[in-house]
């Protein structure tokens, strides 16, 4: 199973990556690269998925996003996350990705950047949100599209292809 990630520009990537590493170290949870999942559940064969990722990348411009608020769910991969706005270019990229790839994802598209995976009690999540405040609310661009093999747990995830937009 494959997933498409839009990768933040260098400045946003560094800031978010530092946060992810700091929090995962503190809470003994997995680290991962900051990203916005454009589409998951891709079932195409590897070579086809890579070809389609390149095709999609060639038809997109760098996608803009704004981190707008922090939320949490009782879901491992959305323990804590920043919601992003639904910019026109992001929504168009999603529609195009859905049309190009064979996929099993039927959940509604909720653009976000997770920054902590795991299972924490609500009071800990609320404390982290309080400590962060709005210090990470920012506008950024996502100039890269990655195809990632996302089977099992984050330490087993594998970058299959990366393309500039």
| Strand stretches in the chain, DSSP E | 2-7, 36-42, 63-71, 80-84, 112-116, 139-142, 144-149, 158-164
* Domain boundaries, position 119: 2-164
pLDDT, tens digit, for every residue of 65-107? Answer: 999 999 999 999 999 999 999 999 999 999 999 999 999 977 7
For the domain that residue 108 is a member of, what is the CATH number?
Answer: 3.90.1140.10
The number of distinct structural domains making up the chain is: 1
Give SS3 for 129. Answer: helix
- pTM for the model stands at 0.94
Pairing between strand 63-71 and 36-42?
unpaired
């Amino acid at each position: 199973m494959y997933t498409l990630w839009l990768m933040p520009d260098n400045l946003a990537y560094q800031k978010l990556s530092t946060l992810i590493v700091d929090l995962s170290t503190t809470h003994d949870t997995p680290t991962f690269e900051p990203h916005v999942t454009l589409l998951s559940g891709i079932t195409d064969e590897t070579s086809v998925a890579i070809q389609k990722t390149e095709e999609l990348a060639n038809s997109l411009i760098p996608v803009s996003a704004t981190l707008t608020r922090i939320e949490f769910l009782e879901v491992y991969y959305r323990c804590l996350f920043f919601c992003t706005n639904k910019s026109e270019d992001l929504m168009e990229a999603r529609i195009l990705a859905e049309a190009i790839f064979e996929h099993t994802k039927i959940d509604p598209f909720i653009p976000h950047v997770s920054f902590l995976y795991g299972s924490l009690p609500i009071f800990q999540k609320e404390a982290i949100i309080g400590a962060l405040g709005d210090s990470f609310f920012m506008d950024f661009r996502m100039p890269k599209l990655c195809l990632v093999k996302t089977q099992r747990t984050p330490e087993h995830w594998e970058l299959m292809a990366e393309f500039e937009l």
